[in-house]
Amino acid sequence: MTNLSDRFDRNLRLFGIEGQNRLRNTRVSVAGVGGLGTHVVQQLALLGVGAILLIDHEELSSSNRNRYIGVRNDDPIPGTLKVDSAHRLIASIDPSIETSRIAKNVVSREGFEAIKTSDYIFGCVDEDGPRFVINDVATAYAKFYIDLATDVVDGSFGGRIVCKSEEYGCLYCFGELDHEAIRSFFDSEDDKAMRESIYGIDKSVMSNVGPSVVSVNGVVASLGVTEFMLACTGMATLKRFINYDGSKRRVSDRIVSGRPDCPYCSQWSTGAKADTERYLRSQPVKL
């Protein structure tokens, strides 16, 4: 078992043994173990979080090698699950950390169970459909949700961190979700085929693939993990919205207000009454 006072001496100098014990007794789910998620996983393990639940159904691809922490040059591609690579990374840092590998989409019974049994959730997914669902489940079961995103728009690059706690204010009421993308996520394959035949949507145009580099991911992940560290150890409360503008080399706190009529903020800690299981009943789960 890890000797906290020896291994985490430099941590203790910042937030003390009580803060370190809080980290050790905390369960964190990471939904999306990719360019952002692997940075988060590495830092959570180095901080000494006691349990890390890894949620991702995908395998590694060759284009992941430029930014995924812990991926080795000799990892078989295809054939290596992202959760297996992340699990290996955690074990190489601290094998005493409890690790669960959930090779499923977060919109699955296993993904939902991970969220419900965690204290904090890191959302490191690429699409607004899963973001929307995580936001809903996390608020219903009173889980702190830290959502990370990076983007490149018109040559500018950066990212943002949105943190959801018991206060009003979430991805939905901050207007950070694309409702068309959410609807598309829940469309069946037949629905998508019909829409494409009617409107002539080019699948290549709809692709989300864009630039993504390790350092930008690392900055956004580090900002998110720092918010987690401050909140978990009791040093500070979560900031609601942090912007990172990489082109201007600037990090700023965005002033936002929650909506008192937000249906998701209003359901905080209602549990099963929110019926988030409806997502699993209404359409085939994407694995």
The pLDDT, as a whole number, for residue 286 is: 46
Task: Examine residue 95 and say whether the peptide bond preceding it is cis (omega within 30 degrees of 0).
Answer: no
Q: Express each pLDDT in 65-107 by its tens digit.
A: 999 999 999 999 999 999 999 999 999 999 999 999 999 999 9
pLDDT number for residue 187? 80
Residues in contact with 29: Cβ distance below 8 Å, sequence separation at least 6, in sequence order? 52, 53, 55, 114, 115, 118, 120, 121, 122
pLDDT digits (tens, 9 = 90+) for 142-185: 999 999 999 887 678 999 999 999 999 999 999 999 999 998 88
pTM score of the predicted model: 0.91
pLDDT of residue 210: 76
**Helical ranges in the chain per DSSP H:** 4-7, 9-24, 37-47, 82-93, 109-116, 128-140, 179-186, 189-199, 214-233, 278-282
Q: Is pLDDT of 283 > 90?
A: no
Confidence class of residue 3 from pLDDT cuts 50, 70 and 90? low
* pLDDT the model gives residue 205: 42
Which amino acid is located at 141 in the chain?
Y
Domains of the chain with bracketed CATH: 8-261 (3.40.50.720)
Distance CA 33, CA 56 (A): 6
